[in-house]
Amino acid sequence: MADEHEQWCLVTGGRGFAARHLVNMLIRYDIYAVRITDLGPDIKLEPHEENGSLGNALRSGRAQYLSMDIRNKAQVYTACDGVEVVFHMAAPDSSNSNHQLHYSVNVHGTKNIIDACTVLNVKRLIYTSSPSVVFDGRHGIYDGHEAMPYPAKHNDSYSSTKAEGEALVIKANSMNGLLTCCIRPSSIFGPGDKLFVPTLVAAARAGKFKFIIGNGKNMYDFTYVENVAHAHAYFITNMEPIRFWEFISLILAGLGYQRPKTKVPVFVMTLIAHLVELIYRLSAPYGRNVPHLTPSRIRLLTCNRTFSPWKANDRLGYRPLVSLQIQNFGCRVWFLQEGLRRTIESYSDLRADVYLKKKGPSKATVYLGNGMGLTLLMLRCAVAEILLWRNMKLTLGAILALFALYDNFVIPGYNMITAISIVFVMTLVFLFIHGKLPDKFNAKINNGLFCCRMGYSVDKIMESNFHLTDTMSRQAALSVVSSWNHAACTLRSISSGNDSVIFFKDTALSLLILALIGSMSLQCFFEKVLPFAFVAFYLYEKKEDEIDGFIQKLILIGRLSNHELDH
């Protein structure tokens, strides 16, 4: 099938993330003509590929594409005919929990590749495995090496079937002249990844990456994708272990998202994961998708997983082409080197500022920001941050403060005037004591921060915090004027009798809500309204489209009912 004057290699799963980089590197080295196989009926090039080395190679005949399913033996034999080297990279998504799929591809598919190689006299087979083949999901790995045995039980179906496929490849070494080896690249990242970084960003946008599971100190090896293509043998890492959660934070912060800060114990998240898994298992017959939060993934995110590339370094002279990061003389300040910098720059379309600019503020933010019009702009922003759970410390602080007010003033039965007076007096006493702190405390101030002997750090309140700048004063005045003018326009529109929507939405509904709040006791307000606000606004922001769609359906049903009654 192949041109007898060309030396051909085959890359299975050639349209996958790491495989694309390998294909480009093989084309640039110009040692082999490259046959690319994947499940798609034809190859669809992205613009940069069309005008790059891959597009040129396909047009010149130095590369070709074949549609192939490695589970189909006849298609595998056709693809392997005439090639000297096979880079076997095809595999299902590791996050998929379908054991049958993993087994059919990673075991049966790999066996088809081996059979074709031995029958068609292919000289070399390089199998892309995974470090997970030596991971049992419970015990961390530090500086792991190739001599580590497979565990008795793996963490998931992907790991166990990759181990079976790897064992088949190793066993096939020297079979009918075939030379084999296996590569175990660790946690690949880089430009072109359509899974890792996009998944991080989607989770960050959904508010799911505010927490660190465990103590956040577990070490990981991440490998830049170009280094994987460069080595393609043995355990391959960037030779720069880094804390897993620090790496995640660097990616998210580089794209403009909040770093995860709050630490949650592993056992708590494991219990939650078991519960979620049980719920999804019970609801699977009704079409529910596999959950992202599973016990196996919790174990994966909280264990040490570092590996030694010594064998590749010793036998191949392997060194990473692209570095990951360096640390600044022991300080917790990270300088982004090529690997992270290139990765972050390649996802400019996923940056937080770009996303927010396209999407605009959520309706929940708009509602909280446009309140009754007499609230200062800064207070509006604080309320939105608290009720939408965007600033976890601020939200939890507000909840604790409200609980303290409830416990000390509402339950004892104080009226509103008495409660406000007591809070005001307590605030004055606190500020008086704070202002009289001894000089020995003030001597420890460093950029407005002093450290107590108990080991806690407290922000000292500066006098400037109580002053309103000219800009803040103007913003407050403009806010009041704008709210007044908006109210005047609304009243004018209502008085004309031409806009019933404004009447019902902006006036009747607002007055009804005020009447309900005004008629209830302070205790009822704390017990019902405030908990509802903390839950309702958060849920509405996360499920805005679904809730709006449901409301629109109710409105449509109401209109249809009225229409039928009229006729």
pLDDT > 80? residue 96? yes
pLDDT band for position 329 (cuts 50, 70, 90): very low
Residue range 23-50: mean pLDDT, rounded = 92
Extended beta strands in 422-545, E state:
449-451, 457-459
- Within 8 A by CB and 6+ apart from 482, the residues are 373
Residue range 457-471: mean pLDDT, rounded = 60
Residue range 536-543: mean pLDDT, rounded = 77
> What helix, strand, coil percent values describe the chain, rounded to 5?
55, 15, 30
3-state secondary structure 159-197: HHHHHHHHHHHHHCCCECCEEEEEEEECCEECCCCCCHH
Q: Which of 42-46, 236-240, 404-408, 477-481 has the highest mean pLDDT?
A: 42-46
- At the topology level, CATH places domain 1-185 in Rossmann fold (3.40.50)
pLDDT tens digit sequence for 104-160: 999 999 999 999 999 999 999 999 999 999 998 888 898 888 889 999 999 889 999
Residue range 544-551: mean pLDDT, rounded = 76
Residue range 82-90: mean pLDDT, rounded = 96
Q: How far is CA 87 from the centre of its chain?
A: 30
User: How many helices (H) and strands (E) would you count in the chain?
Assistant: 26, 19
Q: How far apart are CA 315 and CA 454, in angstroms?
A: 54
Q: How far apart are CA 316 and CA 56, in angstroms?
A: 30
Catalytic residue chosen out of the listed positions 44, 73, 162, 357: 162
Q: Does the active-site annotation cover 162?
A: yes
Q: What is the mean pLDDT of the chain?
A: 79
Q: Which of 273-287, 338-352, 475-489, 509-523 has the highest mean pLDDT?
A: 338-352
Residue in the structure block whose two tokens are 């959950």: 291
pLDDT of residue 206: 76
Across 4-18, 99-113, 511-525, least confident range: 511-525
Q: How far apart are CA 161 and CA 456, in angstroms?
A: 50
Q: Which segments of 110-156 does DSSP mark as H helices, in order?
A: 110-119
DSSP sequence for 332-400: S-EEE-HHHHHHHHHTGGG-HHHHHHHH-S-HHHHHHHSSSS-S-HHHHHHHHHHHTTSSHHHHHHHHH
Q: How far apart are CA 124 and CA 171, in angstroms?
A: 14
- Greater model confidence, 67 or 29: 67
C-beta neighbour count of 332 within 10 angstroms: 7
pLDDT of residue 107: 97
pLDDT tens digit sequence for 367-384: 665 444 434 445 556 677
Domain ranges for the chain = 1-185, 190-217+239-360
- φ/ψ bin of 534: left (φ > 0), alpha (ψ from -120 to 50), beta (otherwise): alpha
Rounded (5°) CA angle 11-13-18: 85
pLDDT > 50? residue 453? no
pLDDT of residue 42: 93
DSSP character for 66? E
Is 127 in contact with 163 (CB distance < 8 Å)? no
Burial (Cβ within 10 Å: 0-12, 13-18, ≥19) of residue 339: buried
What's the start-to-end Cα distance of the chain, in Å?
74
pLDDT band for position 72 (cuts 50, 70, 90): very high
pLDDT tens digit sequence for 204-244: 887 778 788 888 889 999 999 988 888 776 667 888 888 89
- Greater model confidence, 217 or 358: 217
